[in-house]
């Protein structure tokens, strides 16, 4: 008995194109502190030919761009990772732009450095919470103090504490 190994079935060249999915995410560079590697993951497209560009504030970036080979998935679609090593500055916008035969217009995915607004709001909330706890503790302290003293009065007038 001779084992029969499965053969890869050829994909007809007339198969309909499949649109890519595009996702951008930052990744801290271990070799260069203060430098981020922005990763543009382009997945699930067919046919294989694709063009991926990085733009910084609308201008194409060609330096510090590294790409993997286009890799085949198990479902006849392809994927590629295109990375940009950069030192992001507040106000800069980075865009991964993808052109493919399945798209009428290029697909763009934007990324920008997060402002301190979210962090500032969180610190304000935490500060307000702590201040509330301080007032609650002070109120309980004064209440318990009055209760222990039995609501003493000085000259017919209750003390403020």
DSSP per-residue codes, 107-122: EEEEEEPPPTHHHHHH
Residue 4: band (very low, low, confident or very high) from pLDDT cuts 50, 70, 90: very low
Residue 135: band (very low, low, confident or very high) from pLDDT cuts 50, 70, 90: confident
Looking at residue 31, what is its pLDDT?
A: 63
Q: Which of 15, 13, 24, 155 is nearest to 82 (CA)?
A: 24
Average pLDDT of the segment spanning 16-41? 83
Residue 5: band (very low, low, confident or very high) from pLDDT cuts 50, 70, 90: very low
Beta-strand runs (E) in the chain: 21-28, 36-45, 51-56, 59-61, 65-67, 71-72, 78-86, 93-99, 107-112
- Whole-structure pTM value: 0.61
């Amino acid at each position: 008995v001779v084992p029969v190994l499965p053969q890869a079935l050829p994909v007809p060249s007339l198969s309909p194109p499949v649109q890519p999915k595009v996702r951008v995410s930052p990744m801290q560079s271990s070799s260069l502190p203060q430098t981020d590697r922005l990763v543009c993951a382009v997945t699930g497209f067919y046919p294989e030919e694709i063009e991926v560009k990085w733009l910084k504030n609308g201008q194409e970036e060609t330096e510090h761009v590294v790409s993997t080979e286009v890799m085949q998935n198990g479902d006849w679609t392809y994927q590629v990772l295109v990375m940009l090593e950069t030192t992001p500055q507040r106000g800069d916008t980075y865009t991964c732009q993808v052109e493919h035969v399945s798209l009428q217009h290029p697909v763009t995915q934007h990324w920008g450095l997060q402002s301190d607004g979210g962090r500032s709001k969180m610190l304000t909330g935490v500060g307000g919470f702590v201040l509330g706890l301080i007032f609650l503790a002070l109120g309980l302290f004064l209440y318990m103090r009055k209760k222990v003293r039995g609501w003493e009065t000085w000259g017919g007038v209750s003390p403020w504490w």
